[in-house]
Chain A
Amino acid sequence: MIFESDVLEVEEAQMIKDALMLCLKNEEPTVKLDLRNINKIDLSVIQLFLSLQKSLHNQNRNMTLINCTNSVIEALELCGCSKLFECTYE
């Protein structure tokens, strides 16, 4: 799943949650969230990613953040979440 918007913030949290819910319904063993376009991400959205990860674990599935920009990596490090996600580049 690739995010087209460059900003992921609390204002769009409900919309992002709805989009992430679709990932729960497909059957891919690993859900990939492509963050190549993201210049700003806030804690509410990172929290949604963690929440999705928890739901996927319950289904014995995994989640990977791919193509994280520097802004995303910095945000994840600052809130201590970088070690909670698997981040790769494709």
Chain B
Amino acid sequence: MSEELQYFNEDAQEQLQMMESALLDAMDKGVNDEYIGTIFRAMHTIKGVAGMFSFDAIISFTHIAENLMDAVRNGKIELDENLLMLLLKCKDHVSTLVDYAVESAPLPKNILDKDKLLKATINNYLQSPPEKFVPTQTLPIETISSNLWHISLHLKEYFFETGMDLISIIAFLKRLGTLHSVSTLVENLPTLEEIDPYKPYLGFEIEFEGDVKKEDIIEVFEFVEDDIELNVFSVDKIQKEEPQKEELPEQTKPVIIEVLQAKIEDIQPKQESNNKQITPISQSLRVDSSKIDILIDTISEMVIANAKVNRYVEKYADAELEEVAIELSGLLEELRNNVMNIRMVQVGESFEKFRRVVNDVAHKLNKKINFTIKGGETELDKTVIEKIADPLLHMLRNSVDHGIELPAQRVQNGKPEYGTVELRAYPESGSIVIEIEDDGKGLALDAIISKARAKGIISQTQQLSDAEAYKLIFEPGFSTAEVVSDISGRGVGMDVVKKNIEALKGEVALVSKVGKGSCFTIRLPLTLAIIDGFLFQVGQTHYIIPLDMVSEVIEYTSEYHVNIRESQLFDLRGTLLPLLDVRNYYKELPCEMCERQNIIVVKYGHHKIGLLVDELFGEYQTVIKPLGKLFKNAPGLYGASILGSGEIALIFDIPTLFEILKIK
């Protein structure tokens, strides 16, 4: 796909997403001008850009949809629930048209049929709008339609770098009316010897006729507005009748002068404000995410190289070199954080897509649901967001399908008719927590355990804690649904959900109360590439844990030692916490050089454990590298990092360590 097509595709999908959010908001909170404006703009913008690529199917459909929204905007058609549902279908249809257009694939018969049907339905609305009183009003000068226009156009220095072709834009303008003439201004054109082939030197004077408003013409050029100088003038009847002006009655003259005055005033402030708005650099830049991945890889290598430099600094004890090395490390850390921040994306945009799913599923199942999103501003690595979308979708479907009861049943149980499903995200000690909570019927522990026994997932005599019992729903082949529906409940989803989340080094848990509802909690790492780590040594091996998870570090002395029934515990100011002797656990040889042992207190979620370790080195910028197959079954290890000395440090997988110690 060419860069321009990719831009078109991304832009269209963004517009459609905004349209869908506005439609769903209008359904939930009621229609307002802002939502109507958003829906109109989506259709209008997609039509505009599609015009530049001559995507006729999209232009033709969005044009009708835009007319419909224009009628809604002008109060001629009411945006009721039926029309909102129709517009959701239109949104889906445009999305399909865009997919086919960017693939240059012909539209199959079923899509063409759908196109005809939707157009006919829209036309039905447009032809027989319900009668509505529209008060007479004086139109402001800029909304006066005129047929003849003069368009003056000059290209700025970087026009060709926009990737937009002026010829396609003029072709699109031609679709709105008739091009009477296009004159090319070549005064500034250099000879071939002198020309910079990437700079534009031409200007254009266009005579255009069409039943359009001035802003319609300006909008044709809106995608290159920063890279052109554009002036649009109406060549209206006043000018055409100029030779006859002596014949005009005297009293019409002030009116003409007033109109011209208004037009001049209209043009001048706009030109001034346009000048103010023009900035040399656009505020946002679309970059292929693979380019950022390459940047992160390069920075990762720089971090490792910098660690080597620091090692030499320590070795040669040169004050000047040390100063430079400290400055370099600081700059590198800043660069790393800035680049990592580019990858951080607010989860809200991705969460918004789920509203449609919840809405559709609820509609299909005749359920009434208030779906809310909280913490949409929480940031998470883009890769993590993309990979978490499917598991979240599945859990949300489950909540709506199996969790929320039918309205009548809810009322019978003394609950509000509308069920609540809440999707929220928030940061917590180096992780991001995502929760899906509903106020549905909840899950009965007895039912889960009986089902697991019946399916042979657990033995008949096996006793489980509540947390362990809830985890059974993530076992392969487990389904508590009495009726298998096409929404969820085939028993092949939750185990895949768990696997996907674990692949992201995250974890998922469920708590539920019969009659009250359920809550899924997903805990995910902030990023998958570079972290601030805490470096330490056990025996002959270096280890790293994420710095955010380190609660405190203490020297291990006899005062902390507690030994109850062979369980390793330690006494932290009166609180007994589990202690993992890392040397013992990983069968490390004793560290001969180490003078003392230390406890690193690690916090994860609401729990703490201690790690008994040897030497401490402190904060360390850690580039996470995957472990080879050899380490596939090594418990509690997440990845590895290369130290400045070339040695390898193993990175602890803290959630798994907690699991090992049976904390939860």
Q: Does B204 contact A (CB under 8 A)?
A: yes
Which residues in window 199-226 of B have CB below 8 A to A? 200-202, 204, 206
The CA of A71 and the CA of B489, in the complex, are separated in Å by 56
The reply to whether the CB of B192 lies closer than 8 angstroms to some CB of chain A is yes
Nearest residue (CB) in B for A75 is B167
Report the interface size for chain A: residues with CB under 8 A from the other chain.
Answer: 28
Q: How far is the CA of A42 from the CA of B168 in the complex (A)?
A: 9
> How far is A47 from B201 in the complex, measured between Cα atoms in Å?
8
Given contacts A78-B167, A79-B184, A47 and B202 within 8 Å (CB-CB) = yes
A33 at interface by CB-CB < 8 Å: no
Instruction: Take A42-B165, A44-B200, A50-B186 as given contacts and tell me if A78 and B195 are in contact as well, using a CB distance cutoff of 8 Å.
Output: no
Q: Is the CB of A84 within 8 A of B184?
A: yes
B197 adjacent to A44 (CB under 8 Å)? yes
The 8 A CB mask of A40-65 against B (1 = contact, 0 = none) is 00111001101110110010000000
Check if A13 is an interface residue, CB within 8 A of chain B: yes
In the complex, the answer to whether B166 meets A43 with C-beta atoms within 8 Å is: yes
Give complex CA distance A78, B168 in Å: 9
Known contacts A78-B170, A80-B204; decide if A44 and B160 are in contact (CB<8 Å): yes
* Most chain B beta-carbon neighbours within 10 Å: one of A20, A47, A77, A84: A47
Judged by a CB distance under 8 angstroms, whether A21 is at the interface is yes
A77 to B197, CA, bound (A): 21
For chain A, residues 2 to 43, give those with C-beta under 8 angstroms from any C-beta of chain B: 9-10, 13-14, 16-17, 20-21, 24, 42-43
Partner of A51, one of B160, B183, B195: B195
Q: B192, A48: Cβ atoms under 8 Å?
A: yes
Digit string of B519-544 for contact with A (CB within 8 Å is 1, else 0)? 00000000000000000000000000
Q: Is B191 an interface residue (CB 8 A)?
A: yes
On whether the beta carbons of A43 and B165 are closer than 8 Å, the reply is yes
A1 at the interface (CB under 8 A from B): no
* Bound-state Cα–Cα, A4 to B171, Å: 26
Residue B96 at the A interface, CB < 8 A? Answer: no
Residue on A with the closest CB to B185? A80
Chain B contributes a number of interface residues (CB within 8 A of A) equal to 26
- Inter-chain CA distance A16–B195, complex, in Å, is 12
A residues within 8 A CB of B206? Answer: 80
Contact of A51 with B190 at beta-carbon distance under 8 Å, contacts A78-B182, A79-B182 already known? yes
Q: Assess whether B170 is in contact with A48, with CB atoms less than 8 Å apart.
A: no
- Is B191 in contact with A80, judged by CB distance below 8 angstroms? no
| B35 nearest CB across to chain A (Å) | 37
Inter-chain contact count A-B, CB under 8 Å? 83
Determine the distance from Cα of A30 to Cα of B204 in the docked complex, in whole angstroms.
Answer: 28
Tell yes or no: B595 within 8 A of A by CB: no
Cα A78 to Cα B372 with chains together (Å): 51
A58 to B190, CA, bound (A): 12
Question: How far is A9 from B163 in the complex, measured between Cα atoms in Å?
Answer: 10
Q: Which residues of A contact B166 (CB under 8 A)?
A: 43, 79
Which of B179, B184, B197, B200 has a CB less than 8 Å from the CB of A81? B184
Cα distance A79–B151 in the bound complex, in angstroms: 13
> Closest CB of chain B to A40's CB: distance in Å?
9
Complex contacts, B202 vs chain A, CB 8 Å:
43, 47, 50, 79
Interchain CB contact under 8 A, B195 and A48: yes
Q: Determine whether the beta carbon of A54 is less than 8 Å from that of B200.
A: no
Query: B192: which A residues are within 8 A, CB to CB?
Result: 17, 20-21, 24, 48, 51-52, 54-55
CA–CA, A80 to B207, complex, Å? Answer: 11
B189 and A54: CB pair below 8 A? yes
Q: For residue A65, give the distance in angstroms from its CB to the closest CB of chain B.
A: 15
Closest to B161 in A: A10
How long is the Cα–Cα vector from A74 to B165 in the complex, in angstroms? 14
B181 touches A (CB below 8 Å): yes
Residues in A neighbouring B198, C-beta threshold 8 A:
10, 13-14, 44
Check A47–B189 contact: CB distance below 8 A.
yes
CB-defined contacts of A48 to chain B, threshold 8 Å: 192, 195, 197
Between B174, B184, B200, the greatest number of chain A beta carbons within 10 A of the residue's beta carbon is seen for: B184
Task: Given A24-B192, A54-B189, answer yes or no on A16-B197 (Cβ-Cβ < 8 Å).
Answer: yes
Shortest distance between the CB of A79 and any CB in chain B (Å): 5
Tell yes or no: B250 within 8 A of A by CB. no
Give the chain B neighbours of A44 by CB distance below 8 A. 160, 197-198, 200
A13–B574 Cα gap in the complex (Å)? 77
Q: Apart from A47-B202, A79-B170, what are 13 other A-B pairs with CB-CB below 8 Å?
A: A13-B197, A17-B192, A21-B192, A42-B167, A43-B165, A43-B167, A48-B192, A50-B202, A54-B192, A75-B167, A78-B170, A79-B167, A80-B183
Residues of A participating in the B interface, judged by any CB pair closer than 8 Å:
9-10, 13-14, 16-17, 20-21, 24, 42-44, 47-48, 50-52, 54-55, 58, 74-75, 77-81, 84
Could you list 28 A-B pairs, sorted by A, with CB under 8 Å?
A10-B160, A13-B198, A17-B195, A21-B192, A21-B193, A24-B192, A24-B193, A43-B200, A44-B160, A44-B198, A44-B200, A47-B201, A47-B202, A48-B192, A50-B186, A51-B189, A51-B192, A52-B192, A55-B191, A55-B192, A55-B193, A74-B171, A77-B182, A78-B167, A78-B171, A78-B179, A79-B182, A79-B204
